[in-house]
Amino acid sequence: MRLTADANKFGLFAFMTAILMTAAMSSAAEDVVAIRQADMKAMAAAAKTISGMFKDPTTYKANEFKWAADTIRDRSGGVLSVHFVSEADSRQSKAGPNILKERERFDSIANDLRDYAVALDAAAQNNPGQMSASMRMKPGEAMGGGPLGTHVRNEQELLAMPAEHAFHLMLQTCTTCHAKFRME
Ligand code: HEC
């Protein structure tokens, strides 16, 4: 009898442990979803800040521009990628199931985002006073883009283009990833 009671106790213990572990794991998954969604919102706010300065260059402030670029830089690339490695997503996530299958493509878009953010940071450092004409796109300047056009080919090309151009390609990078990897 005694043995059975102990065995039952152990069974209950194992059962409770399993429940607690499942709860801990699913709350970790929810945490990562909350973090990556908060990061995305922070990047959206930063992009809005930069966009406002290109729309009205008199509002340009190098330190705010740089801070916004760094907000995106610090939440893209590998930082963004590692928030999307687990299949144990909670239900309130809009992350596409294809992220795991198309890992390289996802990571490469995340890295492009970071490259553009780094270029914008450099532009702010090179233009501490006013927003220079060299930061702006010339009227009618070819935008490039298209489905594969947002990929950063090399650093020289990136640093040679006006910051405004890099910014537009950055926004296309957001859109490209969402179209492919975010569910409606
Ligand atoms: C490499 C892919 C990728 C890139 C690049 C990317 N996103 Fe996202 N974004 C996602 C995915 C996937 C989700 C859905 C996340 C979830 O629900 O867990 C998302 C969600 C969002 C959300 C909704 C967050 C919420 O609260 O639910 C916003 C806003 C957003 N992204 C803005 C941006 C902006 C702005 C950029 C560019 C500066 C950007 N994203 C770049 C993949 C990306």
Instruction: Decide: 44 in ligand 1 pocket, CB within 6 A.
Output: yes
CA-CA distances (angstroms) from residue 5 to 11, 12, 16, 19, 153? 10, 10, 16, 21, 68
pLDDT value of position 146: 46
Contact 53 CB / ligand 1 (< 6 Å): no
The hierarchical CATH code for the domain 32-181 is: 1.20.120.10
Centroid of ligand 1 to alpha carbon of 20 (angstroms): 31
Q: Is the CB of 47 under 6 A from ligand 1?
A: yes
Ligand 1 atom with minimal separation from the 182 CA: 12
Q: From CA 114, how far away is CA 119, in angstroms rounded?
A: 9
Residue spans of the domains in the chain: they are 32-181
pLDDT per residue as tens, the chain (184 positions):
555 666 666 676 676 676 666 666 677 777 899 999 999 999 999 999 999 999 999 999 999 999 999 999 999 999 999 999 987 666 679 999 899 999 999 999 999 999 999 999 999 999 999 999 999 998 777 665 544 466 777 888 888 899 999 999 999 999 999 999 999 8
State the closest ligand 1 atom to the C-alpha of 38, by its place in the atom list counted from 1: 26
Structure tokens at 44: 């959206």
